[in-house]
Homo-oligomer: A and B are copies of this chain.
């Protein structure tokens, strides 16, 4: 299987051929992506990138989401890709740990806005972009990731180049060149986790992929065998690549259908605990004030990765199952608010988290948990989570995605603005011009 064959599959997909369920999942992906991008766009690292780019000039062509500001198309792809990865709250294709939206939507939205495209082709292009990047990810995973590549940045440009290139109408040879330009500039060392540069990775991948498509469209050439050649992407960045994944079974199913969304803004291993305490409170009426002790039987990874007993701030709290369980039981949710520094150091949360007892149980799967609240009056409330919210077998509903969107976007856009943008995204297939959609992504008063 070859780069050219992949390019032919992409360019050979006519408009309208992507099936409705895949288009629907693209909308869910966009809603999820947009919420976390808008919500994080006031981060200082976004200011830094915008300042550097502003000094170079550039025409106001595409919107920086969450800012109400236009910059040139290339910079918009970079900045929006960064914003959407800051919260670590974006979507995930679990079999490769690829976050598919962060490198693709920023390139597509910038291109679509600048050229006044309609919504439907953008949704289809997104499905194809995700198909391309995820197939490349499957070729090189897991050795690529194990070696130290942050796969979202290192394969993301394939997705951006494929999606934008398809909209441009590149032919198969040009698409092969665009994929080659993506292949030759992987972005992202895992060593950068925990720094600003982690979020830079999908942003730069988006910008690189966009540039790759434009260059290929102008006639800029690269290798015809950039992925599979002995000194191509797959062999240089992984061992024993599964090249058959490039095109095998193309069109039988679409990778976007396996996309998953995080209900909680922290690592997935802690999600069963969050789900359990929210349900103990909501379904069984357990109140924090009545709880003597909260016992959790957890998968081994939970304590290995998130066993921090006394977190000092919001970042550390993401690695504390004790904090999450306590804050979630008190507040009824584990969202962005529960990771604010002041919530982590609040006396009621500290008091309860010290009464959380977590014990490893090897019979518990990664998406499972057993919770037992021993109340002060001697009663016991118990709950078994078989598949936690957001897992493969219990995906987030549209309503849950809307709640997440509102939580992230409303502080920036206001409740009405967030609702308006959300409704527009659900109707994106009917939007005539993306420019009007993007105008809804900023606050009433531009930052």
**A184 on the B face (CB < 8 A):** yes
Report chain B residues within 8 Å CB of A414: none
CB nearest neighbor in B for A56: B72
Give the complex CA separation of A187 and B195 in angstroms.
21
Task: Choose among A51, A52, A226, A229 the residue with the greatest number of B CB atoms under 10 Å from its CB.
Answer: A52
Instruction: Tell me the A173-217 residues at the B interface (CB within 8 Å).
Output: 177, 180-181, 183-192, 195-197, 200-201, 204, 211, 214-215
Give the complex CA separation of A281 and B191 in angstroms.
58
Contact across chains for B74 and A56 when beta carbons are under 8 A apart? yes
Report chain B residues within 8 Å CB of A185: 185-188, 204
Report chain B residues within 8 Å CB of A49: 215, 220
**A312 on the B face (CB < 8 A):** no
Contact across chains for B58 and A149 when beta carbons are under 8 A apart? no
Set B44, B181, B219, B225: member contacting A44, Cβ < 8 A: B219
Set B51, B58, B187, B225: member contacting A184, Cβ < 8 A: B187
Report chain B residues within 8 Å CB of A177: 197
Whole-angstrom distance from the CB of A224 to the nearest CB of chain B? 9
**A89 on the B face (CB < 8 A):** no
Interface residues of A, dominant DSSP: helix
Set B189, B226, B229, B231: member contacting A236, Cβ < 8 A: B189
Chain A 139-181 near chain B by CB (<8 Å), digits 1 or 0 = 0000000011100010000000000000000000000010011
Give the complex CA separation of A65 and B43 in angstroms.
38
Report chain B residues within 8 Å CB of A44: 219
Contact across chains for A220 and B236 when beta carbons are under 8 A apart? no
Instruction: Tell me the A48-90 residues at the B interface (CB within 8 Å).
Output: 48-49, 51-52, 55-59, 61, 72-75
**A2 on the B face (CB < 8 A):** no
**A45 on the B face (CB < 8 A):** yes
- Given A72-B58, A222-B197, A232-B148; A184-B192 close (CB under 8 Å): yes
Whole-angstrom distance from the CB of A243 to the nearest CB of chain B? 14
Contact across chains for B220 and A189 when beta carbons are under 8 A apart? no
Contact across chains for B236 and A147 when beta carbons are under 8 A apart? yes
Contact across chains for A235 and B148 when beta carbons are under 8 A apart? yes
**A138 on the B face (CB < 8 A):** no
**A379 on the B face (CB < 8 A):** no
**A221 on the B face (CB < 8 A):** yes
Report chain B residues within 8 Å CB of A223: 189, 191-192, 195, 197
Contact across chains for B56 and A231 when beta carbons are under 8 A apart? no
Give the complex CA separation of A218 and B72 in angstroms.
20
Whole-angstrom distance from the CB of A442 to the nearest CB of chain B? 20
- Given A57-B59, A226-B189, A236-B189; A195-B221 close (CB under 8 Å): yes
Q: Please name 10 further chain A to chain B contacts, defined as beta carbons within 8 Å, in addition to the given A185-B185, A195-B223, sorted by A numbering.
A: A58-B58, A58-B72, A147-B236, A181-B200, A184-B189, A185-B186, A189-B236, A191-B232, A195-B221, A197-B222
Can you report 23 residue pairs joining A to B where beta carbons are below 8 Å apart? A52-B211, A52-B215, A56-B72, A56-B75, A57-B59, A57-B61, A147-B231, A147-B236, A149-B236, A177-B197, A181-B197, A183-B191, A184-B188, A184-B197, A184-B201, A185-B185, A189-B231, A189-B232, A191-B232, A192-B222, A192-B226, A195-B222, A197-B223
